[in-house]
Protein backbone atom coordinates (compact mmCIF):
# COMPACT_ATOMS: atom_id res chain seq x y z
CA UNK A 1 0.00 0.00 0.00
CA UNK A 2 1.45 3.36 -0.98
CA UNK A 3 2.26 6.03 1.54
CA UNK A 4 3.08 9.69 0.98
CA UNK A 5 6.71 9.01 1.85
CA UNK A 6 7.02 6.92 -1.34
CA UNK A 7 6.95 10.22 -3.24
CA UNK A 8 9.21 13.26 -3.33
CA UNK A 9 8.53 16.87 -4.26
CA UNK A 10 11.28 17.92 -6.63
CA UNK A 11 12.39 21.52 -7.04
CA UNK A 12 15.17 21.11 -9.59
CA UNK A 13 17.73 18.94 -7.83
CA UNK A 14 16.18 19.59 -4.44
CA UNK A 15 14.24 16.69 -2.97
CA UNK A 16 11.56 17.33 -0.35
CA UNK A 17 8.98 15.38 1.56
CA UNK A 18 5.86 16.34 -0.44
CA UNK A 19 4.10 18.03 2.49
CA UNK A 20 3.60 21.78 2.52
CA UNK A 21 1.94 23.32 5.56
CA UNK A 22 -0.18 26.19 4.26
CA UNK A 23 0.12 29.77 5.41
CA UNK A 24 -2.32 30.72 8.15
CA UNK A 25 -2.55 34.37 9.05
CA UNK A 26 -2.36 36.13 11.44
CA UNK A 27 0.57 34.21 12.88
CA UNK A 28 -1.44 30.98 13.20
CA UNK A 29 1.24 29.36 11.06
CA UNK A 30 4.03 30.56 13.32
CA UNK A 31 7.74 30.43 12.65
CA UNK A 32 7.91 27.48 15.04
CA UNK A 33 5.39 25.56 12.97
CA UNK A 34 7.09 26.40 9.69
CA UNK A 35 10.53 25.56 11.09
CA UNK A 36 9.30 22.14 12.20
CA UNK A 37 8.02 21.42 8.70
CA UNK A 38 11.43 22.38 7.30
CA UNK A 39 13.28 20.32 9.89
CA UNK A 40 11.21 17.30 8.91
CA UNK A 41 12.11 17.78 5.25
CA UNK A 42 8.91 19.44 4.02
CA UNK A 43 7.87 23.03 3.45
CA UNK A 44 6.43 25.32 6.08
CA UNK A 45 4.85 28.75 5.63
CA UNK A 46 4.96 31.82 7.74
CA UNK A 47 2.48 34.55 6.81
CA UNK A 48 2.99 38.24 6.31
CA UNK A 49 -0.58 39.11 7.33
CA UNK A 50 -0.58 42.09 9.71
CA UNK A 51 3.16 41.79 9.91
CA UNK A 52 3.66 44.98 11.92
CA UNK A 53 1.36 43.68 14.65
CA UNK A 54 3.16 40.32 14.56
CA UNK A 55 6.52 42.07 14.82
CA UNK A 56 5.30 44.00 17.88
CA UNK A 57 4.34 40.76 19.62
CA UNK A 58 7.49 38.89 18.70
CA UNK A 59 10.19 41.54 18.65
CA UNK A 60 8.91 44.26 20.96
CA UNK A 61 8.64 46.83 18.21
CA UNK A 62 5.89 49.43 18.66
CA UNK A 63 4.62 49.85 15.12
CA UNK A 64 0.92 49.53 15.95
CA UNK A 65 1.04 51.96 18.86
CA UNK A 66 2.95 54.52 16.83
CA UNK A 67 0.59 54.28 13.87
CA UNK A 68 -2.40 54.70 16.14
CA UNK A 69 -0.71 57.72 17.73
CA UNK A 70 -0.06 59.20 14.30
CA UNK A 71 -3.68 58.86 13.21
CA UNK A 72 -5.41 59.35 16.54
CA UNK A 73 -7.11 62.48 15.17
CA UNK A 74 -8.98 60.25 12.70
CA UNK A 75 -10.33 57.54 15.01
CA UNK A 76 -13.91 58.79 15.09
CA UNK A 77 -13.88 59.64 11.39
CA UNK A 78 -15.34 56.97 9.12
CA UNK A 79 -13.33 58.25 6.17
CA UNK A 80 -10.07 56.35 6.50
CA UNK A 81 -8.41 57.56 3.31
CA UNK A 82 -5.86 59.56 5.37
CA UNK A 83 -4.50 56.38 7.00
CA UNK A 84 -1.29 55.23 5.35
CA UNK A 85 1.36 52.65 6.03
CA UNK A 86 4.97 53.76 6.24
CA UNK A 87 6.75 51.56 3.72
CA UNK A 88 10.02 51.60 5.68
CA UNK A 89 8.21 50.17 8.72
CA UNK A 90 6.59 47.48 6.63
CA UNK A 91 10.03 46.58 5.31
CA UNK A 92 11.53 46.52 8.80
CA UNK A 93 8.76 44.30 10.19
CA UNK A 94 9.23 41.89 7.27
CA UNK A 95 12.99 41.91 7.73
CA UNK A 96 12.57 40.98 11.39
CA UNK A 97 9.91 38.30 10.93
CA UNK A 98 11.47 36.65 7.89
CA UNK A 99 15.10 37.23 8.85
CA UNK A 100 14.77 35.73 12.35
CA UNK A 101 12.85 32.77 10.98
CA UNK A 102 15.38 32.04 8.25
CA UNK A 103 18.29 32.24 10.71
CA UNK A 104 16.68 29.37 12.59
CA UNK A 105 16.05 27.01 9.66
CA UNK A 106 17.46 23.52 10.25
CA UNK A 107 17.01 20.42 8.19
CA UNK A 108 16.45 19.60 4.55
CA UNK A 109 13.18 21.45 4.06
CA UNK A 110 12.25 25.02 3.21
CA UNK A 111 10.33 27.97 4.63
CA UNK A 112 8.05 30.07 2.43
CA UNK A 113 5.92 33.11 3.17
CA UNK A 114 2.23 33.41 2.34
CA UNK A 115 1.39 36.84 0.89
CA UNK A 116 -2.29 37.62 0.58
CA UNK A 117 -2.69 40.28 -2.03
CA UNK A 118 -6.05 41.31 -0.58
CA UNK A 119 -4.11 43.07 2.17
CA UNK A 120 -4.16 46.21 0.08
CA UNK A 121 -3.25 48.71 2.85
CA UNK A 122 -4.60 51.80 1.08
CA UNK A 123 -1.79 51.52 -1.51
CA UNK A 124 -1.95 48.03 -3.05
CA UNK A 125 0.93 48.15 -5.45
CA UNK A 126 3.44 50.01 -3.31
CA UNK A 127 2.83 47.95 -0.19
CA UNK A 128 2.85 44.62 -2.05
CA UNK A 129 6.12 45.51 -3.75
CA UNK A 130 7.71 46.30 -0.37
CA UNK A 131 6.36 43.11 1.21
CA UNK A 132 7.70 40.92 -1.58
CA UNK A 133 11.04 42.65 -1.93
CA UNK A 134 11.71 42.73 1.82
CA UNK A 135 10.90 39.04 2.15
CA UNK A 136 13.37 38.28 -0.65
CA UNK A 137 15.96 40.57 0.94
CA UNK A 138 15.58 38.75 4.25
CA UNK A 139 16.33 35.41 2.61
CA UNK A 140 12.95 33.70 2.39
CA UNK A 141 13.15 30.43 0.41
CA UNK A 142 9.90 31.08 -1.44
CA UNK A 143 6.78 33.23 -1.70
CA UNK A 144 3.25 31.94 -2.16
CA UNK A 145 0.97 34.58 -3.64
CA UNK A 146 -2.53 34.12 -2.30
CA UNK A 147 -6.01 35.64 -1.86
CA UNK A 148 -6.64 38.31 -4.41
CA UNK A 149 -3.84 37.25 -6.72
CA UNK A 150 -2.86 40.02 -9.09
CA UNK A 151 -2.00 38.96 -12.58
CA UNK A 152 1.21 40.94 -12.77
CA UNK A 153 2.69 40.63 -9.29
CA UNK A 154 5.87 39.05 -10.65
CA UNK A 155 6.63 42.27 -12.48
CA UNK A 156 6.84 44.09 -9.11
CA UNK A 157 9.98 42.13 -8.28
CA UNK A 158 11.44 41.19 -11.64
CA UNK A 159 14.50 43.38 -11.09
CA UNK A 160 15.21 41.83 -7.69
CA UNK A 161 18.46 39.82 -7.63
CA UNK A 162 16.66 36.81 -6.16
CA UNK A 163 13.72 36.92 -8.62
CA UNK A 164 14.95 33.88 -10.53
CA UNK A 165 16.35 32.00 -7.54
CA UNK A 166 13.70 32.13 -4.84
CA UNK A 167 10.72 29.85 -5.37
CA UNK A 168 7.62 31.75 -6.43
CA UNK A 169 4.23 30.07 -6.33
CA UNK A 170 0.60 31.00 -6.72
CA UNK A 171 -2.66 29.74 -5.29
CA UNK A 172 -5.50 29.26 -7.75
CA UNK A 173 -8.89 27.60 -7.56
CA UNK A 174 -9.40 26.95 -11.28
CA UNK A 175 -7.43 26.07 -14.39
CA UNK A 176 -8.64 29.35 -15.87
CA UNK A 177 -7.02 31.44 -13.14
CA UNK A 178 -3.73 29.65 -13.77
CA UNK A 179 -4.00 30.19 -17.53
CA UNK A 180 -4.62 33.90 -17.04
CA UNK A 181 -1.70 34.28 -14.68
CA UNK A 182 0.72 32.48 -16.95
CA UNK A 183 -0.40 34.42 -20.00
CA UNK A 184 -0.06 37.73 -18.17
CA UNK A 185 3.39 36.83 -16.93
CA UNK A 186 4.89 35.68 -20.22
CA UNK A 187 6.64 39.02 -20.44
CA UNK A 188 8.75 38.34 -17.31
CA UNK A 189 9.91 35.09 -18.89
CA UNK A 190 9.39 33.38 -15.60
CA UNK A 191 6.88 30.66 -14.74
CA UNK A 192 5.66 29.99 -11.23
CA UNK A 193 7.79 27.29 -9.57
CA UNK A 194 4.67 25.65 -8.18
CA UNK A 195 0.92 26.02 -8.26
CA UNK A 196 -1.22 25.36 -5.22
CA UNK A 197 -4.67 24.31 -6.42
CA UNK A 198 -6.99 25.11 -3.54
CA UNK A 199 -10.40 23.47 -3.56
CA UNK A 200 -13.65 24.39 -1.82
CA UNK A 201 -12.99 22.52 1.47
CA UNK A 202 -10.01 24.66 2.53
CA UNK A 203 -9.80 26.99 5.52
CA UNK A 204 -9.44 30.75 5.28
CA UNK A 205 -10.87 32.58 2.26
CA UNK A 206 -12.26 30.56 -0.62
CA UNK A 207 -11.68 31.20 -4.30
CA UNK A 208 -15.31 30.23 -4.94
CA UNK A 209 -18.70 31.82 -4.45
CA UNK A 210 -21.36 30.60 -2.06
CA UNK A 211 -21.90 27.79 -4.57
CA UNK A 212 -18.56 26.31 -3.41
CA UNK A 213 -20.19 22.91 -2.72
CA UNK A 214 -20.69 22.38 -6.46
CA UNK A 215 -16.93 22.16 -7.01
CA UNK A 216 -14.55 19.35 -6.33
CA UNK A 217 -10.83 19.57 -5.73
CA UNK A 218 -9.99 16.39 -7.65
CA UNK A 219 -11.79 17.64 -10.77
CA UNK A 220 -9.98 20.99 -10.68
CA UNK A 221 -6.62 19.29 -10.11
CA UNK A 222 -7.22 17.04 -13.10
CA UNK A 223 -8.14 20.02 -15.27
CA UNK A 224 -4.99 21.86 -14.22
CA UNK A 225 -2.79 18.81 -14.82
CA UNK A 226 -4.35 18.21 -18.23
CA UNK A 227 -3.86 21.82 -19.30
CA UNK A 228 -0.22 21.85 -18.15
CA UNK A 229 0.44 18.60 -20.04
CA UNK A 230 -1.18 20.02 -23.14
CA UNK A 231 1.00 23.14 -22.91
CA UNK A 232 4.08 21.01 -22.16
CA UNK A 233 4.63 23.01 -18.99
CA UNK A 234 6.36 21.27 -16.15
CA UNK A 235 5.09 23.08 -13.05
CA UNK A 236 4.60 21.14 -9.81
CA UNK A 237 0.92 21.05 -8.86
CA UNK A 238 0.07 21.03 -5.15
CA UNK A 239 -3.58 20.34 -4.25
CA UNK A 240 -5.01 21.79 -1.03
CA UNK A 241 -8.28 21.71 0.88
CA UNK A 242 -9.71 18.76 2.74
CA UNK A 243 -6.70 16.45 2.46
CA UNK A 244 -7.03 14.95 5.91
CA UNK A 245 -4.98 11.73 5.83
CA UNK A 246 -1.83 10.45 4.20
CA UNK A 247 -4.01 8.22 2.03
CA UNK A 248 -6.01 11.22 0.77
CA UNK A 249 -2.67 12.75 -0.18
CA UNK A 250 -1.49 9.58 -1.95
CA UNK A 251 -4.57 9.67 -4.19
CA UNK A 252 -3.48 13.10 -5.46
CA UNK A 253 0.13 11.99 -5.88
CA UNK A 254 -1.02 9.05 -7.99
CA UNK A 255 -3.04 11.48 -10.09
CA UNK A 256 0.15 13.42 -10.87
CA UNK A 257 0.37 15.99 -8.07
CA UNK A 258 3.85 16.95 -6.88
CA UNK A 259 2.90 17.42 -3.23
CA UNK A 260 -0.01 18.48 -1.03
CA UNK A 261 -0.73 21.60 1.01
CA UNK A 262 -2.43 20.96 4.33
CA UNK A 263 -3.38 23.20 7.23
CA UNK A 264 -6.36 22.29 9.41
CA UNK A 265 -4.73 19.28 11.03
CA UNK A 266 -1.88 21.51 12.20
CA UNK A 267 -4.18 24.04 13.92
CA UNK A 268 -4.23 21.86 17.02
CA UNK A 269 -0.49 21.39 17.34
CA UNK A 270 1.64 22.83 20.11
CA UNK A 271 3.55 24.95 17.58
CA UNK A 272 0.42 26.54 16.07
CA UNK A 273 -0.23 30.16 17.08
CA UNK A 274 -3.88 29.77 18.11
CA UNK A 275 -4.49 30.18 21.85
CA UNK A 276 -5.05 26.87 23.68
CA UNK A 277 -8.72 27.68 24.32
CA UNK A 278 -9.30 28.18 20.59
CA UNK A 279 -7.55 24.89 19.79
CA UNK A 280 -10.08 23.22 22.08
CA UNK A 281 -12.92 24.88 20.10
CA UNK A 282 -11.48 23.35 16.93
CA UNK A 283 -11.26 19.93 18.56
CA UNK A 284 -14.81 20.13 19.92
CA UNK A 285 -16.39 21.32 16.67
CA UNK A 286 -19.09 19.23 15.06
CA UNK A 287 -19.98 19.31 11.38
CA UNK A 288 -23.01 21.53 12.14
CA UNK A 289 -20.72 24.11 13.74
CA UNK A 290 -18.99 24.93 10.45
CA UNK A 291 -20.25 27.47 7.92
CA UNK A 292 -19.08 29.37 4.89
CA UNK A 293 -20.24 32.96 5.21
CA UNK A 294 -19.68 36.35 3.69
CA UNK A 295 -18.62 38.24 6.79
CA UNK A 296 -15.11 38.84 5.47
CA UNK A 297 -14.87 42.37 4.05
CA UNK A 298 -12.53 41.08 1.32
CA UNK A 299 -15.50 39.94 -0.76
CA UNK A 300 -14.41 36.31 -0.63
CA UNK A 301 -16.46 33.76 1.29
CA UNK A 302 -14.69 32.40 4.33
CA UNK A 303 -15.15 29.17 6.27
CA UNK A 304 -15.33 29.42 10.04
CA UNK A 305 -16.97 28.08 13.16
CA UNK A 306 -20.47 29.54 13.51
CA UNK A 307 -19.83 30.61 17.07
CA UNK A 308 -16.72 32.65 16.25
CA UNK A 309 -16.81 35.75 18.48
CA UNK A 310 -16.09 37.86 15.39
CA UNK A 311 -19.59 37.21 14.01
CA UNK A 312 -21.91 40.01 15.04
CA UNK A 313 -19.28 41.88 17.04
CA UNK A 314 -19.82 45.60 16.54
CA UNK A 315 -16.17 46.54 16.81
CA UNK A 316 -15.44 50.16 15.96
CA UNK A 317 -13.33 50.20 12.76
CA UNK A 318 -9.77 50.02 13.90
CA UNK A 319 -7.93 51.19 10.78
CA UNK A 320 -5.77 53.75 12.55
CA UNK A 321 -4.05 50.87 14.37
CA UNK A 322 -4.39 48.25 11.62
CA UNK A 323 -6.07 49.11 8.31
CA UNK A 324 -4.63 46.21 6.30
CA UNK A 325 -7.81 45.75 4.27
CA UNK A 326 -8.22 49.36 3.18
CA UNK A 327 -8.50 49.38 -0.59
CA UNK A 328 -6.78 51.82 -2.92
CA UNK A 329 -9.36 54.47 -1.94
CA UNK A 330 -9.07 53.93 1.79
CA UNK A 331 -12.31 51.97 2.05
CA UNK A 332 -13.25 48.69 3.67
CA UNK A 333 -16.64 46.94 3.42
CA UNK A 334 -16.69 46.58 7.20
CA UNK A 335 -16.75 50.34 7.71
CA UNK A 336 -19.82 50.61 5.49
CA UNK A 337 -21.54 47.75 7.31
CA UNK A 338 -20.72 49.33 10.67
CA UNK A 339 -22.16 52.66 9.56
CA UNK A 340 -25.35 50.98 8.33
CA UNK A 341 -25.72 49.29 11.72
CA UNK A 342 -25.23 52.62 13.49
CA UNK A 343 -27.84 54.29 11.30
CA UNK A 344 -30.30 51.48 11.92
CA UNK A 345 -29.85 51.85 15.68
CA UNK A 346 -29.72 55.57 16.35
CA UNK A 347 -28.59 56.48 19.82
CA UNK A 348 -27.29 53.04 20.80
CA UNK A 349 -23.78 52.97 22.13
CA UNK A 350 -23.05 49.43 21.04
CA UNK A 351 -24.22 47.86 17.82
CA UNK A 352 -24.03 44.33 16.46
CA UNK A 353 -22.74 44.02 12.94
CA UNK A 354 -23.59 40.72 11.28
CA UNK A 355 -23.09 41.70 7.68
CA UNK A 356 -19.30 42.03 7.82
CA UNK A 357 -16.55 41.66 10.37
CA UNK A 358 -13.59 43.84 11.33
CA UNK A 359 -11.26 41.12 10.12
CA UNK A 360 -8.01 42.83 11.14
CA UNK A 361 -9.11 43.16 14.76
CA UNK A 362 -10.64 39.72 15.00
CA UNK A 363 -7.90 37.79 13.22
CA UNK A 364 -5.36 39.59 15.40
CA UNK A 365 -7.32 38.59 18.53
CA UNK A 366 -7.85 35.02 17.27
CA UNK A 367 -11.60 35.64 17.42
CA UNK A 368 -12.40 34.64 13.86
CA UNK A 369 -12.17 30.87 14.00
CA UNK A 370 -11.50 30.04 10.39
CA UNK A 371 -10.97 26.37 9.64
CA UNK A 372 -11.09 23.76 6.91
CA UNK A 373 -14.29 21.81 6.29
CA UNK A 374 -12.97 18.75 8.14
CA UNK A 375 -12.24 20.58 11.38
CA UNK A 376 -14.89 18.35 12.96
CA UNK A 377 -12.66 15.32 12.44
CA UNK A 378 -9.83 16.74 14.57
CA UNK A 379 -11.26 15.10 17.70
CA UNK A 380 -10.54 11.73 16.07
CA UNK A 381 -6.86 12.58 15.73
CA UNK A 382 -6.05 12.70 19.45
CA UNK A 383 -6.88 11.43 22.91
CA UNK A 384 -8.34 13.22 25.91
CA UNK A 385 -6.55 14.56 28.97
CA UNK A 386 -7.74 13.67 32.46
CA UNK A 387 -9.68 16.94 32.70
CA UNK A 388 -11.68 16.05 29.59
CA UNK A 389 -9.87 18.46 27.28
CA UNK A 390 -8.34 17.23 24.04
CA UNK A 391 -4.64 16.62 23.96
CA UNK A 392 -2.65 18.88 21.66
CA UNK A 393 -0.40 17.18 19.16
CA UNK A 394 3.10 17.99 18.04
CA UNK A 395 3.74 19.18 14.51
CA UNK A 396 6.15 16.27 14.15
CA UNK A 397 3.40 13.79 15.04
CA UNK A 398 0.91 15.20 12.52
CA UNK A 399 3.55 15.62 9.82
CA UNK A 400 4.75 12.03 10.20
CA UNK A 401 1.20 10.77 10.25
CA UNK A 402 0.65 12.34 6.82
CA UNK A 403 4.01 11.01 5.68
CA UNK A 404 3.74 7.39 6.75
CA UNK A 405 0.12 6.45 7.30
CA UNK A 406 -1.63 4.00 5.01
CA UNK A 407 -5.19 2.75 4.54
CA UNK A 408 -6.80 6.02 5.67
CA UNK A 409 -5.46 5.47 9.20
CA UNK A 410 -4.74 8.28 11.62
CA UNK A 411 -2.14 7.63 14.30
CA UNK A 412 -3.14 8.75 17.80
CA UNK A 413 -0.44 10.27 20.02
CA UNK A 414 1.46 7.68 22.07
C1 LIG B 1 -6.79 28.71 10.37
C2 LIG B 1 -6.51 28.85 8.91
C3 LIG B 1 -6.03 30.05 8.42
C4 LIG B 1 -5.71 30.18 7.06
N5 LIG B 1 -5.18 31.34 6.62
C6 LIG B 1 -4.75 31.45 5.33
C7 LIG B 1 -4.04 32.60 4.91
O8 LIG B 1 -3.77 33.51 5.69
N9 LIG B 1 -3.65 32.64 3.61
C10 LIG B 1 -3.91 31.63 2.72
O11 LIG B 1 -3.53 31.71 1.55
N12 LIG B 1 -4.56 30.52 3.13
C13 LIG B 1 -4.97 30.40 4.40
N14 LIG B 1 -5.56 29.23 4.82
C15 LIG B 1 -5.67 28.10 3.87
C16 LIG B 1 -4.53 27.09 4.09
O17 LIG B 1 -3.27 27.66 3.86
C18 LIG B 1 -4.67 25.81 3.23
O19 LIG B 1 -4.48 26.04 1.87
C20 LIG B 1 -5.98 25.08 3.39
O21 LIG B 1 -6.60 25.32 4.60
C22 LIG B 1 -5.72 23.58 3.22
O23 LIG B 1 -6.87 22.84 3.50
P24 LIG B 1 -7.04 22.04 4.89
O25 LIG B 1 -7.09 23.06 5.96
O26 LIG B 1 -8.31 21.29 4.70
O27 LIG B 1 -5.86 21.13 5.05
C28 LIG B 1 -5.91 29.10 6.17
C29 LIG B 1 -6.41 27.90 6.68
C30 LIG B 1 -6.70 27.76 8.02
C31 LIG B 1 -7.22 26.44 8.54
Q: Is 295 exposed, middle or buried (0-12, 13-18, 19+ CB in 10 A)?
A: buried
Q: What is the pLDDT of residue 1?
A: 86
Q: How far is CA 398 from CA 269, 273, 279, 356, 405, in A?
A: 8, 16, 15, 34, 10
Q: How far is the CA of 44 from the centre of ligand 1 (A)?
A: 12
Q: How far is the CA of 25 from the centre of ligand 1 (A)?
A: 8
Q: What is the pLDDT of residue 407?
A: 96
Q: How far is the CA of 387 from the centre of ligand 1 (A)?
A: 30
Q: What is the pLDDT of residue 12?
A: 84
Atom of ligand 1 nearest to the CA of 274: 1
Q: What is the pLDDT of residue 211?
A: 98
The closest residue, in CA terms, to atom 20 on ligand 1 is: 202
DSSP 413: P
Q: What is the pLDDT of residue 414?
A: 87
312 neighbors 337 (Cβ within 8 angstroms)? no
Q: What is the pLDDT of residue 349?
A: 81
Domain 4-404: give its CATH superfamily: Aldolase class I (3.20.20.70)
Tell which one of 21, 22, 303, 381 to mutate to probe ligand 1, the residue whose CB is within 8 A of the most ligand atoms.
Answer: 22
Q: What is the pLDDT of residue 347?
A: 87
The partner residues of 115 in beta bridges, in order of sequence, read: 145
Q: What is the pLDDT of residue 150?
A: 81
Tell which one of 173, 199, 204, 279 to mutate to probe ligand 1, the residue whose CB is within 8 A of the most ligand atoms.
Answer: 204
192 neighbors 181 (Cβ within 8 angstroms)? yes
Q: How far is the CA of 407 from the centre of ligand 1 (A)?
A: 25
70 neighbors 136 (Cβ within 8 angstroms)? no
Which residues fall within 8 angstroms of residue 317, CB to CB, at 6 or more apart?
78, 80, 332, 334, 335, 338, 358
Q: How far is the CA of 185 from the centre of ligand 1 (A)?
A: 25
The closest residue, in CA terms, to atom 7 on ligand 1 is: 24
Q: How far is the CA of 357 from the centre of ligand 1 (A)?
A: 18
Pocket of ligand 1 (CB under 6 A): 22-25, 28, 47, 49, 114, 116, 146-147, 171, 198, 201-204, 240-243, 261-264, 267, 370-372, 374
Q: Which helix (H) or strand (E) holds 298?
A: none
Q: Which helix (H) or strand (E) holds 193?
A: none
Whole-number Å distance between alpha carbons of 394 and 271? 7
DSSP 333: H
pTM score, two decimals?
Answer: 0.98
Q: What is the DSSP string of 10-37?
A: EETTEEE-SEEEPP-TTTTS-HHHHHHH
Q: How far is the CA of 297 from the centre of ligand 1 (A)?
A: 17
Q: How far is the CA of 350 from the centre of ligand 1 (A)?
A: 32
First-to-last C-alpha distance (Å) of the chain:
23
pLDDT tens digit at each of 414 positions of the chain: 899 999 999 998 899 999 999 999 999 999 999 999 999 999 999 999 999 999 999 999 999 999 999 999 999 999 999 999 999 999 999 999 999 999 999 999 999 999 999 999 999 999 999 999 999 999 999 999 998 778 889 999 999 999 999 999 999 999 999 999 999 988 899 999 999 999 999 999 999 999 999 999 999 999 999 999 999 999 999 999 999 999 999 999 999 999 999 999 999 999 999 999 999 999 999 999 999 999 999 999 999 999 999 999 999 999 999 999 999 999 999 999 999 999 999 988 889 999 999 999 999 999 999 999 999 999 999 999 999 999 999 999 999 999 999 999 999 998
Tell which one of 149, 202, 296 to mutate to probe ligand 1, the residue whose CB is within 8 A of the most ligand atoms.
Answer: 202
Amino acid sequence: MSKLDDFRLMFGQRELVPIMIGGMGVDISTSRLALEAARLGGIGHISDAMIKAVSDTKFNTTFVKEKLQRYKFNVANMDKSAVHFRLAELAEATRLHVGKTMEAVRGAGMVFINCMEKLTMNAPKETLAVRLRSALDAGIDGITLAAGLHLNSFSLIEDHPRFRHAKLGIIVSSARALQLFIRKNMRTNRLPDYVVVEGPLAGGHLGFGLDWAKYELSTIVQEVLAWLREQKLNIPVIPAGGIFTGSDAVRYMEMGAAGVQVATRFTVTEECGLPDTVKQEYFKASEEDVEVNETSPTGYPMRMLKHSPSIGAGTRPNCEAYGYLLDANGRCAYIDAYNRALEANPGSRKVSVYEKTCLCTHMRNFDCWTCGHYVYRLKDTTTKNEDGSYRQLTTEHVFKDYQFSTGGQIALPA
